[in-house]
Amino acid sequence: MLDIKYIRDNAEKVKKAAADKNIKLDIDRLLELDEKRRSLMAKADEFRAKRNEIAKAGKSGKPTAAQIEEGKKIKEEIARTEENLKILDDEYESLMIKAPTVPSADTPVGKDESGNTEVFNSGELPKFIFQPKNHIELAEDLDIIDFERGAKVAGYRGYYLKNEGASLVMALMMFAYNKMIAKGFAPFIPPTMIREFALFGSGYFESREYNPETDNIYQVATRDKELSGEVSREKKFLIGTAEPSLLAYFSDQVLKEEDLPVKVCGFSPCYRSEIGSYGKDTKGLYRVHEFFKIEQVVVSAADYDISTALQEEMVAISEELHRDLGLPYRKLQICTGDMAPGKYRAFDLEAWLPGTGRWAETGSASNFVDWQARRLNIKYQTKNGERKFAFLLNNTALPSVRPLIAILENYQQADGSVVIPEVLRKYMPEGMEVIKKKK
């Protein structure tokens, strides 16, 4: 959410940002509604002041018939004004939540993901003296993933990790989790079933309320019970990443400037309905409904230079994880047309999949500046007592499935075995070094 004062003062910038991000938003209509709202609010305040004057005058003696009549008219005017204000508020808020953050000066302008810019590539891609297999073939040959029974039990995109595949994913998560702790990020295991405000506040709803046709979020259908024993009418949702849970931890708080930045990381299962990807990547692990992930979140002071430096630090940790795992990767700066409304600056990391012959997104780092903080009401108090909305950042330290694909395909051997990256071996049963075919 943007500050309406900022929109008034920077209308042309916001219009350009909306156009560059492919957002249909009538800024002129928003500003017109803003003016009408302020006028009505001032009018309502005037009526309330008159009502108070009449009430005060009536206390000195019995109110006259004229005062009583005037009081009734003012009461009706207040009700009428408030009703008109409510009607305006509905349209005003529906436009306000679409208002995008103006992207950073170095963000590429582009219509869609084809406009993303490669800013780093780790180097030459691996070459094999044999025809490399894809992860589906490797997983089935090594008996470490069962897609058939996964689909039988969980449905479309279901899968079972098993044997060394299950151990390898847990090793990946522990490796990334411990790396984050060593880098100064406080560890969390946040709730995975959360309330609506956390998802709206972090920007995971396209509009004010959940829309199953557009939002890649699962709503929990079964009703819960309140402490009183009554059936709860509150909506609950499964998270697609730990980001909304971690951000909402700080909602409605006023932090101290001297305590910033606050750095946390969270391990969680993640659930995504993949509404917009029907028919894409229908086989294997590339696009699934559930997986694990280690997520980074930072609460920063409202300073563009400081938050940019923090974002660079977060991305550098993810790059370090890729290098430690020995995975070929590249870093992309995300263009305006592939950027969510609230993002100020964004990067993706992609690992190379030789068996599949493609790059796979394995991380995404975003700086939302104060857009999420305004929705979640996350503030901090400066040393001189001023209260400001914080800047919020997030980054995927490491997800489970796509790095697993990359390891299987990059570390495969001619005999069909897969070498386990050295940094993961201490987390594997008995320090396992190679996954071999079962006899």
Catalytic residue among 364, 366, 374, 375: 364
CA distance 292 to 272: 11
Active site residue 364: yes
Catalytic residue among 157, 345, 375, 402: 402
SS3 content of the chain, % helix, strand, coil (to 5): 45, 20, 35
CA distance 303 to 78: 42
Active site residue 287: yes
46: alpha, beta or left? (left if phi > 0; alpha if psi -120 to 50):
alpha
Rg from Cα positions in the chain: 27
180: alpha, beta or left? (left if phi > 0; alpha if psi -120 to 50):
alpha
Peptide bond into 399 cis (omega under 30): no
Catalytic residue among 287, 290, 417, 425: 287
Q: Which two tokens stand for residue 376?
A: 């979640």
Catalytic residue among 272, 345, 374, 375: 272
Catalytic residue among 77, 206, 290, 361: 361
CA distance 69 to 47: 14
Active site residue 272: yes
Active site residue 361: yes
Residues 266/242, Cβ–Cβ less than 8 Å: yes
CA distance 57 to 66: 12
Q: Which two tokens stand for residue 387?
A: 């209260």
Residues annotated as part of the active site: 272, 287, 361, 364, 402
